[in-house]
Chain A
Amino acid sequence: MSSASPMISVQNLWKVFGNNPEKVIGSADANLSRTDLRAKTGNTIAVRDVSFDVAPGEVFVVMGLSGSGKSTLVRCMTRLIEPTQGQLQFEGEDILKVDDKRLRELRKTRFSMVFQHFGLLPHRKVIDNIAYSLEINGIKKDARHARANEVIELVGLQGYANAYPEQLSGGMQQRVGLARALAVDPEVLFLDEPFSALDPLIRRDMQQEVIRLHHELGKTMVFITHDLSEAVKVGDRIAIMRDGAIVQIGTPQDLVANPADDYVANFVRDIAKSHVLTLKHIARKAEPGDATDGPELAASTIIRDAAQVILQSHKPVRVNDNGNALGIVSSEDVLRLISGGA
């Protein structure tokens, strides 16, 4: 398998709840609004014709408001909920075709999941929670505890191995959730709103933790969230969902610079552009009167990080994209962007 091929490939995936779900797909009913469809056939379309690829090592974020179908989508990807129609491949293997035994094998070894409400077993110590998947893999107690202790260190839970979940704070519990997911050394982590139930401060710590783990371990991640700033912070690419369908897929910069429609634009409005966009997005041609001997910066520098240099310089900075001069950025350009102008 070449490194260019996707880790996960989702093609035209549908999930329709209610009786006779297949009948809805492809019929005129599929275009009805949610309330109208439910009134007419009793069905609800949770995932609507969704397609995307996730590259190895990528953090792919699915972002949407509650009810947009993102949690159903992630459950369809691990078949905790059976999709109604579509294709789903994991390293080229058709996941929707595998039998229960193979599916369990995949769940035990290849992908793991982290849940919004942690899903820890209240009657087990932290270490035995983390070792659960190893236990059902048939690994002996000493071996699985040794491995569990490794992961405990990895997520910073030293000293809590013998605590019970209800003795831990929410943030600590989710560290256990992360550790449990990492214990089997899976290829893909599915994180379903992992930090939504946490306090804002703890949430920020945990986001940093995920970024750190991603740097250290390089796992592919599918990350579900309803919080765009979280999506921008952790995601390589973001898919925005609305009413079961994907509205736009792109890097944070794409979404902020070129929102596909008003819905996405509305979302990204609250994001500080200077935190996401790079100099490339605001570089302009030098006009007569602009000094062209200012300091030089790379085009991929995030504006926020460049701001100090630009504002302190008396001359506009020159933007350099791998040797090509893209143009210049002046203090006024930066201030206009930060103050909300385009």
Chain B
Amino acid sequence: MKDFRYLEDVATLVLDEQKCIGCGLCTEVCPQAVFEMNENKARIVDFNACMECGACVNNCPVDAISVSPGVG
């Protein structure tokens, strides 16, 4: 979300672009528009907007994404 920003550089989001097959599902499920498609690969365009909800991790068909927040 562009209007609301939380603490920076704390998210545990990691995208392995090597594994990405470009299905685009992460761009679909992310509620904060963290990902964008670029030449058939997903890339992180707004890292600090990540709220570690895990929607992308759950739906990535090749396990290219991970988030590992603590207990919250």
Please determine whether chains A and B interact with each other in the same assembly.
no
Q: CB within 8 Å of A: which residues of B?
A: none
Question: Which A residues are closer than 8 A to B by beta carbons?
Answer: none
